[in-house]
Copies of this chain bind each other. A is one copy, B any other.
Amino acid sequence: MYIIKVGGGSQINLAGVVADLAELQEPYLVVLGANAARDALGVKLGIEKTELTSVSGYTSVYSDDDAIDLIMMAYAGLHNRRFVELCQRHNINAVGLSGLDGRLIQGERNRGIRVREGGKTLIKRDLSGKPRSVNGALLEMLITQGYRPVLSIPIIDEQGYAINSENDDIVSILQETLQADRIVQLIEAPGFLDDPDDPDSVVDLISANELKDREEQVKGRMKRKMLALRRLFNGGAKEVIIADGRTEHPVRDALAGKGTIIQ
Contacts and interface: CB of A to CB of B under 8 A. Distances in A.
A59 to B, nearest CB: 26
B44 A89 contact: no
B159 A89 contact: yes
A74 interface: yes
A78 B69 contact: yes
Contacts of A101: 84, 94-97
A93 interface: yes
Say what secondary structure dominates the interface of chain A. helix
10 contacts: A72-B77, A73-B73, A77-B77, A77-B78, A82-B162, A85-B156, A89-B161, A94-B100, A95-B102, A102-B147
- Copy count, this protein chain: 2
A190 interface: no
Interface residues of A, number: 38
Interface string A90-110: 110111111011110000000
A196 interface: no
Nearest to A148: B102
Given A44-B45, A77-B72, A81-B72, A160 B103 contact: no
A161 B85 contact: yes
A28 to B, nearest CB: 16
